[in-house]
Amino acid sequence: MPTASSRAALVTLPMAITFAALLSTPLWLAQVGLYQYLALEIMIWMLFALGYNLMLGTTGLPSFGHGAFFGIGAYAFGLLQQRVWASLWFDLFGAVLVTAAFAAIVAACISHRRGIYYALLTIAFGQIVWFVSIKWHTVTGGEDGLLNIERLPVSLGVAQFDLKSNEALFYFCFALFAAVVIVLWRLVHSPFGRILAAIKQNEVRAAFVGHNVWLYKWLSFVIASAVAGLAGAMFAMAQQSAYPNVMSLHSSGFVVMMVLIGGGLVSFWGPVIGALFFILARDLLGAATDTWLLWYGLLFVVMVLWKPEGIAGVWQAWRRRAKHTMPVVPKKEMAHGPV
């Protein structure tokens, strides 16, 4: 019998469509009146949401303070660059490791909890990190944030590429995005991912059959947070700064909304749809009214009440209906034509 990992293709059709759509943005984005930085920001939030969905959608762990790890990655990238070594690869991977280390400590404290208690603890830890980022002026810059973060060149040994333009940074971040998406896809469709799904279905039963539930919850939290740290480091490069507001409770809520409205509970690609929908709604509704978040919130409420599975759930339901309504062609007609 083939394993889950052998059944999962390395590159799927939705993955190819996502990669192709992102790669083609420099060719057509300006033609429709948009700008390249928008595609870069959407891709960063897609990465953040996909990592977060490993917890919420795959493992069933509700973290409402996950913006803290996005912010830790942003600050770690800037501080490593300015105070340790201004090297892109060192700063980037250092930011991921620092974020994962913080996440490992937090996960060790909360992985024995379930449900609402787990969610409340994530909020508490997230608010602690946000408060420290505001008050520790000598390190974080306080409410002004950490400024003057540079877009360092990419050094590949024999060649070096500059990342100062939004387009160059976009292609570099796309390479990181594609690599992480493939890793997450394989992870979710591996035996490890199946155990995470079992924990989501019934944590007690997963423990009863012999799985170390605490360890798997810990790993899910740390991996998702490491991805958030990478997205935060990419965001710091894009913004050339790091601010406390990315760690706030409402910013943590944004990624939850992206995952839920996109359909992350039923589809690996739900967060991609949700991040795209959220950022475009923010820019398009924001251009029409300052109260765009109110209207987006109302739309989110309607979506949750009408179709909790999100946009991906609507698509899946339509496909099932279309499949059931397709006329069945008799085998004789298929082989020999009409009789």
Q: Taking residues 15-28, what's their average pLDDT? A: 94
Question: pLDDT tens for residues 35-77?
Answer: 889 999 999 999 999 999 999 999 999 999 999 999 999 999 9
Classify each residue of 236-274 as buried b or exposed e, where b means 16 or more C-beta atoms within 10 Å of its C-beta: bbbbebbbbebbbeebbebbbbbbbbbbbbbbbbbbbbb
Between CA 271 and CA 233 the distance in angstroms is: 19
CB 297, CB 247: distance < 8 Å: no
pLDDT of residue 6: 45
Between CA 91 and CA 81 the distance in angstroms is: 6
pLDDT of residue 151: 95
Between CA 190 and CA 290 the distance in angstroms is: 44
Question: pLDDT tens for residues 123-149?
Answer: 999 999 999 999 999 999 999 999 999
pLDDT of residue 334: 46
- Pick 284 or 153 by higher pLDDT: 153
Report the 10 Å Cβ neighbour count for 308.
12
- The band of 323, judged by pLDDT with boundaries at 50, 70 and 90, is confident
pLDDT of residue 126: 95
pLDDT surpassing 90 at residue 190: yes
pLDDT surpassing 70 at residue 152: yes
CB 259, CB 271: distance < 8 Å: yes
How much of the chain exceeds pLDDT 90, in percent?
72
Say which amino acid occupies 272: V
Q: Taking residues 308-333, what's their average pLDDT? A: 74
pLDDT of residue 302: 86
pLDDT of residue 199: 96
Mean pLDDT score of the chain: 90
Between CA 60 and CA 196 the distance in angstroms is: 8
pLDDT surpassing 50 at residue 230: yes
- Helices 13-23 and 166-188: crossing angle in degrees, nearest 10, is 170
Q: Taking residues 248-265, what's their average pLDDT? A: 92
- The band of 331, judged by pLDDT with boundaries at 50, 70 and 90, is low
pLDDT of residue 213: 96
Sign of CA dihedral 24, 96, 127, 203: positive
How much of the chain exceeds pLDDT 70, in percent?
94
How distant, in Å, are the alpha carbons of 59, 91, 257, 276 from that of 198? 8, 36, 24, 29
pLDDT of residue 338: 47
pLDDT of residue 2: 40
Angle at 93 between CA 92 and CA 99, to 5 degrees: 95
pLDDT of residue 327: 62
pLDDT of residue 243: 94
CA count, 13 A, side-chain hemisphere, 333: 6
Largest pairwise CA distance in the chain: 85
pLDDT surpassing 70 at residue 337: no
CB 59, CB 223: distance < 8 Å: no
Least confident of 115-129, 235-249, 314-328: 314-328
pLDDT surpassing 50 at residue 308: yes
pLDDT surpassing 50 at residue 86: yes
Between CA 263 and CA 257 the distance in angstroms is: 10
pLDDT of residue 7: 61
